[in-house]
């Protein structure tokens, strides 16, 4: 193996765990964002249902 090839191989071996580490760190952030965005909309629509001051329809009416 030449010196240039050995250096290139070492760089690849170094980069792989670094890239995996970055991916591992980004994953929770991405999942959190992807879940939080739709859940915020759902919670803002559902929140008045849990508020005791929200008027309720009369029994039997639709």
What local confidence, expressed as pLDDT, does residue 56 receive? Answer: 77
Check if the beta carbon of residue 54 is closer than 8 Å to that of residue 48. yes
Tell whether 57 is covered by a domain.
Answer: no
Identify the residue with better confidence: 13 or 3. Answer: 13
Spatial CA neighbour of 17 closest among 6, 25, 7, 29: 25
Tell whether 17 is covered by a domain.
Answer: yes
Tell whether 30 is covered by a domain.
Answer: no
> Domain total for the chain?
1
Tell whether 9 is covered by a domain.
Answer: yes
Tell whether 5 is covered by a domain.
Answer: yes
Tens of pLDDT, residue by residue over 5-51, are 888 888 989 899 999 999 999 999 999 888 888 888 888 888 888 88
State the residue range of the domain holding 15: 1-25
Tell whether 43 is covered by a domain.
Answer: no
Tell whether 19 is covered by a domain.
Answer: yes
Where would I find the H helices in the chain? Answer: 3-50
* Distance from C-alpha of 51 to C-alpha of 46, rounded to nearest angstrom: 9
Tell whether 32 is covered by a domain.
Answer: no
């Amino acid at each position: 193996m030449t010196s240039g090839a050995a250096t290139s191989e070492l760089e690849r071996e170094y980069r792989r765990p670094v890239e995996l580490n970055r991916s591992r760190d980004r994953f929770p952030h991405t999942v959190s964002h992807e879940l939080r965005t739709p859940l915020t909309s759902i919670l803002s629509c559902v929140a008045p249902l849990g508020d005791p001051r929200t008027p309720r329809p009369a029994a039997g009416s639709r």
